[in-house]
Structure 1
């Protein structure tokens, strides 16, 4: 059973990881653990209070199959965690690494997007970071982008982000597609 870490922090965008978390945990029976920088509860942009399972220090690419990072306002406030170590570890071990919204730009800041196709809220948001050298591989599109085990999306694409994470984990079965495609039906 795949084991997935969801890296939350205060002011995370609660709608961004919701579908992928429900699909993984409820429909596919994966182990989904939430984490925060210090293991203390966090509050989302929508006011959801989450008592997390563990601190970021316990997220180990050897023990987890995926690390999913939702965006939010922590980056705009200058309070976001530096994901360089975690992102690099997951990438180097070929594990699934997903960033949506501001978290896609956080992945750009680590350099892990420099050699893979990717997207995000905008190219300009990635280019704010000196470690980002992947502009030629940026895809300006509304749907999530998956290149190998790395998945990125704009904050407006939680549906296709969930789909691509499941595909990266090799969990995109006809049953998963049938259930989850209904959530994106309005966009067709």
Structure 2
């Protein structure tokens, strides 16, 4: 399916050590629904994922503007916990949310947003509560023990929940809803064969 004319692209952040398995469900089904996926890196130089995939970003982070995007997706990466290399992506997430453009962060990216103060007053989740507590953030009281959370345009999830993460993204952008979204999740998360018939009927495979 081709991207719908006039629809803003979804931006997927890519950087060295990004966890390539965490966002695949989300980007694949967004693309199938007509959303253009554009990668954004620290620069336009190639980066390499944890899985050894070499990706050349479509654009550099300093060229990304919230008004040109439908969503910013931030995958986990070792670099989130080893220094300040990815802090500019967290600051960009702040700009997106301030502009009313949603952000979706999974795994280590949630710690980056915690350090930026973006989880201090939003319901959120991550790998485990003490992982975020180690950042020194002030949002521990808003931590939710669940697979994925959406609050005021911000999706968060832990590293073991790429399907739940995608479910929240697909809901947020209106790709699937109601029983179709539920069936999509049951098929890809629970291998529930009965869910396939619901998706087939809705043309949402």
Query: How does the TM-score come out when normalised to structure 2?
Result: 0.83
| In the alignment, structure 1 residue 138 sits paired with structure 2 residue 149 | no
The equivalent of 1:59 in structure 2 is 64
1:87·1:97 contact (CA, 8 Å) conserved in 2?
yes
Residue in structure 2 matching 1:8, options 4, 14, 18:
14
Q: Is the aligned partner of 1:87 residue 2:93?
A: yes
Shift of 1:103: 0.4
Comparing both chains, which one has the higher relative contact order based on Cα–Cα distances under 8 Å and sequence gaps of 6 or more? 1
- Does the CA-based 8 Å contact 1:96-1:150 persist in structure 2? yes
For residue 163 of structure 1, what is the aligned residue in structure 2?
167
Instruction: Indicate the SS of the match to 1:98.
Output: strand
Partner of 1:17: 23
* Helix, strand or coil at the partner of 2:81: coil
How many equivalent residue pairs? Answer: 185
Bigger CA radius of gyration: 2
- What is the deviation of 1:125? 2.1
Structure 1-normalised TM-score?
Answer: 0.90
1:172 alignment partner in structure 2 = 176
Query: 1:84 and 1:70, CA in 2 relative to 1: closer, same or farther beyond 3 A?
Result: closer
Q: 1:47-126 residue pairs with structure 2 within 5 A?
A: 47-78=52-83, 80-82=85-87, 83-126=89-132
CA RMSD of aligned residues (A): 2.0
Unaligned residue ranges in structure 1 (runs of 5+): none
**Distance (Å, rounded) in 1 between the aligned partners of 2:182 and 2:145:** 25
1:120–1:155 Cα contact (<8 Å) kept: yes
Counterpart in the other structure of 2:49: 44
